[in-house]
Amino acid sequence: MDNQRLLIWAFFAMMAWLTWQTWQQDFGPQPAAPPAGQATETEAVPAVPAMPAGDDDIPELSAEGASEAVLPQAPAEASQPAAAAVTVRTDVFDIQISTAGGTLLGATLPEYPVAKDRPDEPVTLLDDAVGGNYGLIESGMRAADGGAEATHLVIFSAAQTSYDLGGADEIVVPLTWTDASGVTVEKRFTFRRGSYRIDLEQVVSNNSGEAWRGAEYVRIKRHSAEQERSMFDVDSYSFIGPVIFDGEKSEKLKRDDLLDDGPYQYSSQRGWLASIQHHFVRAIVPTPGVDYRYTVAVSGDQATSTAMRRNLTAIAPGSTETFATTLFVGPKLQSQLEEIDKKLKLTVDYGWLTILSQPLFWLLSFVHGFVANWGVAIIAVTFLIKLAFYKLTESSGRSMAKMRQIQPRMKALQDRYKDDRQALSQAMMDLYKREKVNPAAGCLPILIQMPFFLAFYWVLLESVEMRQAPFALWITDLSTRDPYFILPVIMGAAMLIQQRLNPAPTDPVQARVMQIMPIMFTVFFAFFPSGLVLYWVTNTVLSIAQQWNVNRVVEAEAKAKKGGQKGGQKKKDA
């Protein structure tokens, strides 16, 4: 009975939380309008945001008339060529690189369609057009003392306009810029087979007669807007926005906080920054062991700008310096993210249960390596979790079975002492003590297991491996709802069976709530991804099997005990 009460409270707590989230979205405080002088939707997107004050004298960039739809360019000159785009095709994505600053202004993922029924419409992670997909990765070299600088505003030259990986393992795309003073900057983008990693090198050659002083910078710009959430769309609760790592901990930066508090800034030798959405990430990982300064800012409803900049570097005449940065534009494949930086897998948003979710994801991936089906892997891992907690849940099950056996006697006591609550409480305690039943024994095992089941829930929700993965029969995509609502109905039926195995609540109100809970859960889970429903169905079926077995054992023990008592009484009578 206490287990059922716990389930009821857990259910209502979840519903209250979802209701609060929806209320906050629709009626909560809205971000203040941007103050005068701040960029709006129709104004220029600021370039590299202001950095913390330091001992260098590198000026900050200005947008110079750039708009959200038009790529920033240097002031027009008669001899300056127009910006062109260099296209790069690999086995995993199609990239567009502008000769204006070497900006990544387009990235689509042919292996990841927007929806399974739209295979010809790939996911877009970078796009220079206005809209929800708007995103750029800009890079450049800023110079101190008014020296020559190859920012994202200048025009580079390209040896060719298209590159195709073909049968090669990697390709290098070079872009070159040369100043009249003799300073040359070459940008090299390296792409590899099967990888969403992009290695960016900015090679500065100082062929002038004096030292060149400057700094490398890279930034991500993305469309910024309020997230629209729906309690019937679990995908909408995935975080969209910037994530930073300062060398010690990672942190998601909320849009409203950035609008209210201003730019977020930090410095680190082991940091990185990223912009995430459900299943996908754009990340910048600079050279480790080197001081970088980071800034994350929001410009009204226009863009979130996430930038990093190296400290001032001096290059002597006749010398060359290479500034290396790793970019990642693609799905949150943890194996590839870990190859770049062990902590980069934190962009997979498992929330506060990451410490449990990461091992569970490893286990799920390990099992998938044998069964080659994510649905079967979900069933197998749910079984393993249930097996790991078998002894713990067995004690809970025995408590519920004993409560079920003494329920008629409890009902008789309630009828006898219906007008005397103190006497009823004492009689109930005496009954529990006599029958060696602990009503609270069933609660602790459930509470201990809850974090593990919630962690597995987030693994199934956030891991890109589940996206559009087929299971069997009509379940062709574990990341979307069951098209025929068969799994949710099975889950509701399983919950009804599970209730019949447990002691029924003696309180009429609780009894009515328990009766409608399977219906409410069925409706609620009807809109959940089928992978999550499959997990819940499997867990419920295993719980039914375990409780049935425990009930059978407890009943057999009770009969044996009763038979022993009768036998002892006969011997005493004789």
Q: Report, as an integer, the average pLDDT of 3-23.
A: 48
Confidence of residue 71 (pLDDT cuts 50, 70, 90): very low
> pLDDT (tens digit, 9 = 90+) per residue, 305-338?
788 888 888 999 999 999 999 999 999 999 999 9
pLDDT for position 56: 38
Let me know: does 173 contact 97? Beta carbons within 8 Å.
Answer: yes
pLDDT for position 404: 64
> pLDDT (tens digit, 9 = 90+) per residue, 15-47?
554 444 444 443 344 433 333 333 333 223 333
> pLDDT (tens digit, 9 = 90+) per residue, 214-247?
999 999 998 887 777 666 666 677 888 899 999 8
Rounded percentage of the chain residues whose pLDDT exceeds 90: 34
Q: Does pTM surpass 0.85?
A: no
Let me know: does 64 contact 72? Beta carbons within 8 Å.
Answer: yes
Question: What is the number of other CB atoms lying within 10 angstroms of the CB of residue 530?
Answer: 27
Residues 246 and 184: their CA atoms lie apart, in Å, by: 32
pLDDT for position 311: 85
pLDDT for position 191: 96
Chain center to CA of 172: 31
Tokens 């913390």 identify what position? 52
Q: Identify each DSSP E strand in 99-252 by its residue range.
A: 104-115, 118-127, 135-143, 157-158, 162-164, 170-178, 183-192, 197-206, 212-223, 241-245, 250-252
Let me know: does 59 contact 51? Beta carbons within 8 Å.
Answer: no
Residues 72 and 48: their CA atoms lie apart, in Å, by: 12
In the predicted model, is pLDDT for residue 1 greater than 60? no
Let me know: does 546 contact 386? Beta carbons within 8 Å.
Answer: yes
> pLDDT (tens digit, 9 = 90+) per residue, 411-466?
777 777 777 777 777 777 777 777 666 665 556 666 777 788 788 888 888 889 88
Q: Check: CATH 2.70.98.90 for 17-21+77-349? A: yes
Please list, in sequence order, all residues whose beta carbon lies within 8 angstroms of the beta carbon of residue 242, skipping any fewer than 6 positions away.
220, 252, 253, 273, 274, 275, 276, 296, 304, 306
Q: Which amino acid makes up residue 259?
A: L
pLDDT for position 5: 46
* Alpha helix ranges (H) inside 417-529: 421-435, 443-462, 486-501, 508-525
Please list, in sequence order, all residues whose beta carbon lies within 8 angstroms of the beta carbon of residue 303, skipping any fewer than 6 positions away.
45, 68, 134, 221, 222, 223, 224
Phi/psi at 357 (5° precision): -65, -40
pLDDT for position 331: 95
Ramachandran sector of residue 158 (left: φ over 0; alpha: ψ -120 to 50; beta: rest): beta
In the chain, CATH 2.70.98.90 covers 17-21+77-349
| Residue of 34 and 557 predicted with greater confidence | 557
Tokens 């863009």 identify what position? 303
pLDDT for position 300: 66
The four Cα atoms 40, 101, 343, 297 give a dihedral, to 10 degrees, of -20
pLDDT for position 301: 60
Up-side HSE of residue 395: CA atoms within 13 Å toward CB?
A: 14
CA-closest candidate to residue 533, choices 389, 385, 380, 375: 375
Residues 83 and 72: their CA atoms lie apart, in Å, by: 10
Q: Which amino acid makes up residue 289?
A: G
pLDDT for position 407: 67
Residues 349 and 354: their CA atoms lie apart, in Å, by: 8
Beta bridge partners of 325: 200, 286
Tokens 């009902």 identify what position? 411
